[in-house]
Amino acid sequence: MEIGNATNRRVCGLEVRRLKIPTGKLKKDKSSTLKETTIPHQTIVDEFNHVHDFLQKKLVTNIGDVILFYLYSMVDHSVIYQKEIKPLLENAKAALQDGELLPENDLAGIINAISIGHIVVYVEETKKYYKFIAYSAPTRSIGTSEIETTVIGPQDSFTESLQTNLSLLKRRIHTPHFKTKSSTIGTESHTEICTVYMKNIVSDDNIGLIEERLRNVNNPSFQDISILKQMLEDNPFSPFPQFIMTNRPDTAVKYIMDGRIVVLMDNSSSIMITPSSFLEMFLSSEDYYNRWTTASLLRLIRFIGFFITVILTPAYISIMSFHPGVVPIDLLMRLQESRSKVPFPPVFEVIFIELVIEVLREAGARMPTKIGQTIGIVGGIVIGTAAVEAGLVSNVLIVLVAISALLSFMIPNYLMSNASRLIRYFFIIAAGAFGFLGLTLALAWLMNHLLNLTSLGKPYVSPVVPRRFSDVYDGIVRAPLTFIQNRKRLSMSKQPTFPTKREKQ
């Protein structure tokens, strides 16, 4: 088949036919292809229809007309003029080199760039789009942590700005091994997240697992990293938190150096640490700033306090309802005397006062700060005294419930503290139904549940199961820092031991 006119030539004794392709047809095809691949700028305007802060500005430059698209509520107006408009008017060709060339047919990418606060510049002559960073959302200044307070140690905490949080980490870690991987999640919100870790320490398997889970997350929007945490956990039905959440940079750095993975999210003042263990929920960053004797004592008190807060009031129910003979007769007489005016069975008495405490706790948390503190203190005293005088509860139970509530406040991890309160109701029902037998069965369930839990596929009760004696130096108790020479087995680190000074050199 011949196209156009042909001319014959002889090359090395062979006749070669050269075809002359009509140039008009070629230009027509090129123009047609350009129309198919280039997105008209009017399409972008239509996408942002009824968006009141969407602006487009047309500028006449030395390379022709250019159009700026942006959301004025998300950009710095001084940056727009000084770094975008003024350079474009002076020398557009040079100014465009500072931007990022966007794919011409990627409408979603262009829309997303504008939505997250960037400026998109459209050049009419070349039909190309360029992205310029001008995002400037209002953020609060760095303050102290209101949840994880400490007496000694750093007092700064994370904010809702992802870039600020990254800078708080990088000011503590000065090495090229510190890696940060950025991506977006949320089909509508396109929230930016960042995964950070030490490349020379972290396990590649752990990196692969967390990245796979992040890719499989499907949710329209994420307002806080706690939502993402619930979608990434191994067992979503467990009352126990399987990843640590903290808003302290020093805590995050400590776990990063141990070989863990930290996930940060824009608009969230907390970060997520994975994998995590049950024992680590009772650790405080202040443990490493105190002497090892003080830190060990406080850790023991927290750990023992968790089990006391879970079984204290259920044990009271078991004794008063099923097993009064296990206590001395004098103590039993005092207990019976305190309950002489109470018309309810012990289990209903306990549930009633526990619910009252929960109501006071919730009211204090939802009220303004100063009023909330008053509600918690005055409300507890007034309601407790009135309940005893009215014969609704015994005065001994008031003391036990108060001790149980105080012990739950000792747990540094807020989510673990909530879990202890929830589990206590399960133990109360079991003790009310079967006494010490029900309490024993509930404890057996608790131990079995903890043994079967995992965090990013790693045992939740590590280093108890599987057992590793070197991890005990930084577990329920804390040995002197000179004895802590190994990273936790939970991390599956490439470098199980800390390098010596000679190895670093």
Rounded to 5 degrees, φ, ψ at 129 are -115, 140
Whether residue 159 contacts residue 173, with contact meaning beta carbons closer than 8 Å, is answered with no
Contacts 24+ apart (CB under 8 A), 340-344: 341/391, 342/391, 342/392, 342/393, 342/394, 343/391, 344/392
With H, G, I as helix, E, B as strand and everything else as coil, classify residue 100: strand
Reading the block at residue 465, the tokens are: 């199961």
User: Which burial class, exposed, middle or buried, applies to 94 when counting CB atoms under 10 A from its CB (0-12, 13-18, 19+)?
Assistant: exposed
> Looking at residue 12, what is its pLDDT?
43
270 phi and psi, to 5 degrees? -115, 160
Q: How far is CA 63 from the centre of its chain?
A: 47
Closest CA to 38 of 126, 105, 102, 101: 105
Give the SS3 label for residue 84.
helix
Give the three-state DSSP class for 486: strand
Across the chain, mean pLDDT equals 85
The helix (H) or strand (E) run that includes residue 16 is strand 14-20
Amino acid at 332: L
The SS3 call for residue 121 is strand
pLDDT value at residue 106 = 83
Backbone angles phi, psi at 322, to 5 degrees: -125, -35
pLDDT at 372: 67
pLDDT confidence of residue 16 = 40
Q: Is 500 exposed, middle or buried (CB count within 10 Å of its CB: 0-12, 13-18, 19+)?
A: exposed
CB neighbours (10 Å) of residue 263? 23
Q: Residues near 171 by Cβ (< 8 Å), separated by ≥ 6?
A: none
> pTM of the entire structure?
0.82
The segments of the chain whose pLDDT lies below 50 read 1-36, 502, 505
Beta strand spans in 155-270 (E): 178-185, 191-198, 244-246, 261-265
CB 60 within 8 A of CB 90: no
